[in-house]
Amino acid sequence: MTTPDLVQELGFRVLDEEDDDPVLLRADGTPVDTWREGYPYGERLPREIYDRDKRLLQIELLKLQYWVKRSKQRLVIVFEGRDAAGKGGTIKRFMEHLNPRGASIVALEKPTEREQTQWYFQRYVAHLPAAGEMTLFDRSWYNRACVERVMGYCDQEQYEEFMRQAPEFERMLVRSGILLVKLWFSVSQAEQQTRFTIRQIDHTDTPYAPWTVVKSNDKKRARLEAMRHVLSLYDYTDKDQDLVGHPDPKILGPAAQVLEHGESATRTFPVL
């Protein structure tokens, strides 16, 4: 039986199918509220507030892009997290009004046979920005830790070597002048059963390339706070400091502060 057939048989239906963050309803009309687990707010962000703030923050993102271009900066934003954690929707809102000539999305497929014989990071280096450009990685070199090992594209030795090399690679990027922002989109256990392991946090969360965790059970809040975080990092031209403000610490912050209790409690790689 397919998933749609099972949903229909059990009486579930979707409220507001045109919305990009729909609500699943049981047969009795009550919502399936797994998103509430471990989440600091009892209600989702209202659509009107989301639309208003998104528009204003997207204007600030345009200012940021202009600053990157004029000052010849190189900005890399890494979006990581498990499937359905909200990465794609957030990237879409980041890019919605940016000039594609100076901002690009990189979402690489599984490595080719030739790429599998190269230095692992080589295929990502080819997509790093030049002066005045922004690059948004929809998944990144962390594919090795989060996907490739589970799917059998790398062995344990390659995985261990990645965990050693990743901080060194990122140090090279930062020392070369690249502005590096790493976002990890986190959802609660009931929303999704897999977790970013404590070992990955320990080995790749560094002072020069820290992880910022975004609680994304409510995707609208996650998108806005991710925008706010990136904007808050840089003193770009004509920045509206009152508008940008500070990211909500209940939604976004350093891994040690934002991950819920038990979320990184295992030293084994999560099973999908």
pLDDT in tens, 130-165: 999 999 999 999 988 777 766 777 788 888 899 999
Question: Is the pLDDT score of 181 beyond 50?
Answer: yes
Q: What is the pLDDT of residue 220?
A: 93
What six digits make up the tokens of 99? 């000039």
- 38, part of any domain: no
Residue 60 is given by DSSP the state H
Q: What is the pLDDT of residue 145?
A: 79
Q: What is the pLDDT of residue 59?
A: 98
Question: Is the pLDDT score of 39 beyond 70?
Answer: yes
Q: What is the pLDDT of residue 192?
A: 41
When pLDDT is averaged across residues 161-172 and rounded to a whole number, the result is: 94
- 82, part of any domain: yes
Going by pLDDT thresholds of 50, 70 and 90, the confidence category of residue 18 is very low
- 185, part of any domain: yes
For the chain, the domain total comes to: 1
Q: What is the pLDDT of residue 8?
A: 55
Q: What is the pLDDT of residue 270?
A: 32
- 163, part of any domain: yes
Average pLDDT, the chain: 82
Q: How far apart are CA 17 and CA 21, in angstroms?
A: 8
Q: What is the pLDDT of residue 259?
A: 59
- 91, part of any domain: yes
When pLDDT is averaged across residues 85-93 and rounded to a whole number, the result is: 88
- 8, part of any domain: no
When pLDDT is averaged across residues 166-183 and rounded to a whole number, the result is: 97
**Between β-strands 23-25 and 13-15, what pairing exists: parallel, antiparallel or unpaired?**
antiparallel
CATH number at 124 reads 3.40.50.300
Amino acid at 128: L
Percent of the chain with pLDDT over 90: 51
Q: What is the pLDDT of residue 10?
A: 54
The model's pTM: 0.81
Residue 115 is given by DSSP the state G
pLDDT in tens, 49-65: 999 999 999 999 999 99
- 28, part of any domain: no
| Helices of type H across the chain | 3-10, 47-70, 87-95, 122-125, 143, 149-151, 156-175, 198-204, 219-232, 241-244, 255-258
Mean pLDDT comparison of 4-13, 72-81, 195-204, highest-scoring range: 72-81
The answer to whether residues 167 and 141 touch, using CB atoms and an 8 Å cutoff, is: no
The answer to whether residues 206 and 169 touch, using CB atoms and an 8 Å cutoff, is: no
Q: Which domain holds residue 239?
A: 47-258
- 25, part of any domain: no
Q: DSSP 3-state assignment of 112?
A: coil
Q: What is the pLDDT of residue 165?
A: 94
pLDDT in tens, 110-135: 888 998 899 999 999 999 999 999 99
